[in-house]
Amino acid sequence: MREQISKPLKLAFLLHFFVAIIFGLIFLLFIEVYVNVTGWPYLDPIAGRTLGAAFIGFGMASLLCWRETEWLKVKITVQMEITWLIIGTVAQFWAAFTMFPSIIPPLIVWVNIAIMLVFCIAFSWFYYRQELGK
């Protein structure tokens, strides 16, 4: 019998799908509104929409993983998520402390960091548990 995916990991995939799709659609379709509402000081619609497309791609990968039952079929996606979330969190911290030297970073920066940290910790924990459970 192959190693099964834990129910909490499946839940993490499902939650990640919803969060990624919501942010992905906002960035893809409403990047100008997002920038205005959040107080983000820069607008690059092409980069914003590309990021939205990436979020949707990550979200769809999580949905596909949620539908799986075997750890080996989702392991590489979990590794990719951990890598992306570590780099993304570092990039957000970097932005918070370098892009806004004379002003307080917008609240959305801290919201993004919190979301990314929560998913990074969750996927790292599940990866650790799944790999040690062998």
CA 7 – CA 85 distance, rounded (Å):
21
* Beta-carbon count within 10 A of 34 CB: 17
User: What was the pLDDT predicted at 1?
Assistant: 40
Among 40-49, 52-61, 110-119, the range scoring the smallest mean pLDDT is 40-49
Q: Is residue 83 a contact partner of residue 107, using CB atoms and an 8 Å limit? A: no
Burial class (CB in 10 A: 0-12, 13-18, 19+), 134: exposed
Q: Is 127 left (phi over 0), alpha (psi -120 to 50) or beta?
A: alpha
Domain ranges of the chain: 7-132
Segment 50-61 shows an average pLDDT of 96
CB of 49 within 8 A of CB of 31? yes
| pLDDT for position 95 | 82
Per-residue confidence (pLDDT) for residue 134, from 0 to 100: 59
Q: What is the pLDDT of residue 14?
A: 97
Residue, of 130 and 41, whose pLDDT is higher: 130
Q: Which two tokens stand for residue 32?
A: 């100008």
Output the pLDDT for position 13: 97
Please give the full DSSP string across 90-117, using - where no structure is assigned. Answer: HHHHHHHHHT-SSSPPPHHHHHHHHHHH
Distance, CA of 134 to CA of 129 (rounded, Å): 9
Which tokens hold the place of 132?
């040690």
